[in-house]
Chains A and B, each alone.
Chain A
C-alpha cells in the first residue's frame, strides 16, 4: 500500500506537478493516511426536509479487515463549521471527539474564537452516541431534534482514480467505459449529524466545511 502510494505521488509530481488523489483522501503530506486525514464531506437535506445532514469521513481506504480494528483517535477533534452570513468565517460549530468508545458532540454553538485553534466548549449542548462497532447495526441517538452516528461505513466516494492516474502518466488518452471504481469495497470512519435547519440561521444559503484539529 505504502509503495503504490509513493509511486502515484512520484508520477504525479514528475509529470504534472499536480496530484489528484481523491475527494480529499490522502490529500497532503502532513495528514496523509493518518487519523486526522479527512477523506470526504457531505451536506444535504435530510429525509425530513426540515433538517440538514452533515457527514464527515476520516481514515480512508480501509479494507474490511482494517475497518474491523480501525478506531477514531481521541486526540483528533472533528469540527463542522457553519457560516450563516456569507463571510466564510464560522458563526456556528459542532464539535465531535471520541472518549472510551463514545463520540461526544458539543453544539451547535457560536465559537468564542474562530480559525485554526479550538478548545472544546463543554458548556455547549452535549450529545453522546456509542461508536458503532464493525459488523453491528448502526447505533444512533437523538437529542433536541438532532441525530448522531459515529462508526465504520462503506466509503460513499466513487471514482476511477486508477485510470485518471494512467491519463496523467501519459499511458492513456481517456477514461474507460465502463470505468472501475477505485474505492469499491473500501471503508471509512464516519461521523454523521442531522440537525434542524432552524438551529443554523442564515437566509437560505450556508457556507459549510469540516476540519480536523489535533492536540
Chain B
C-alpha cells in the first residue's frame, strides 16, 4: 500500500513537471483540458445487486473500495451468513440452489464481484442454458437472482419470492449502438 502511494505521488510529481515544461515551451494558449491528479475509488460494480443484497449495512462502503482480487477472502463469510439469514432455501446444512451450488460455493462466486463475459459465444446473465457469460440489457437479472437465492435445488421452493413478475424494461432497447433507450 505504501509503495502504491509513493508511486502515485511520483506520478503526480512527474505529471506536474511535464505540464509545466509543456506550457513553458508553448507560445500558443493551452486549450487542452487538465487531466492531472490522482483519482481515488468511490464505487464499483460487477454483477447486479451484489453489494445491496449480500453486504451488511456497515460494510457497504468498504466493499466498494476493496479490489475484486481481495473481495473473496474478506467477504465470503459475510455473504454466506447473510444468505442463510435471508433465505429459507439455505436455512439447512446441505441446501443448494438450482445450479447445484451450496451456500459456500454460491457466496464464494458472488463475493468476487466481477462480471464474466464470453468473447466467443452467447452473452447472457442466464438464458436457460448459458450462465454468467455476460449481461445484456434485457436480461431479467433480478428474477434469476431471486430464483437462485430462494428457489432451492429445483427452483420450486418459496414460489412467491422467486420472481418479481416484472420481466422487461419499460422502453424497448435499440438494436444498434448505443443500445440503451432514449430518456423519458
- A residues near B, CB below 8 A? 12-13, 16-24, 27-31, 36-38, 40-47, 52-53, 55, 62-64, 67, 76-77, 83, 87-89, 97, 99-100, 104, 112-120, 122, 134, 138, 140, 147, 149, 152-154, 156-160, 163-164, 167, 173-181, 183-187, 190, 192, 194, 197, 200, 202, 204-215
Are B38 and A204 interface neighbours, CB within 8 A?
Answer: no
Are A31 and B117 interface neighbours, CB within 8 A?
Answer: no
Task: Decide yes or no whether B178 CB sits under 8 A from chain A.
Answer: yes
Q: When A24-B43, A27-B43, A207-B68 are in contact, do A104 and B184 touch as well, CB less than 8 Å?
A: no
CA distance A120 to B82 in the complex (A): 38
CA distance A186 to B181 in the complex (A): 11
Q: Could you say which of A104, A160, A202, A205 has the most chain B C-beta atoms within 10 Å of its C-beta? A: A205
Interface size on B, residues (CB 8 A): 83
Give the number of residue pairs across the A-B interface with Cβ within 8 Å: 294
Q: When A16-B86, A20-B52 are in contact, do A138 and B178 touch as well, CB less than 8 Å?
A: yes
Are A28 and B63 interface neighbours, CB within 8 A?
Answer: yes
When distances are taken between beta carbons in the complex, the residues of chain B under 8 Å from A43 are 115, 117, 123, 134-135
Are A153 and B164 interface neighbours, CB within 8 A?
Answer: no
Are A153 and B42 interface neighbours, CB within 8 A?
Answer: no
Task: Decide yes or no whether B65 CB sits under 8 A from chain A.
Answer: yes
CA distance A149 to B61 in the complex (A): 29
Can you name 9 A-B pairs with beta carbons within 8 Å? A18-B82, A18-B85, A36-B43, A154-B181, A175-B165, A205-B118, A205-B119, A211-B44, A214-B40
Return A11 CB to nearest CB of chain B, in Å.
12
Are A174 and B170 interface neighbours, CB within 8 A?
Answer: no
Are A177 and B165 interface neighbours, CB within 8 A?
Answer: yes
CA distance A187 to B51 in the complex (A): 21
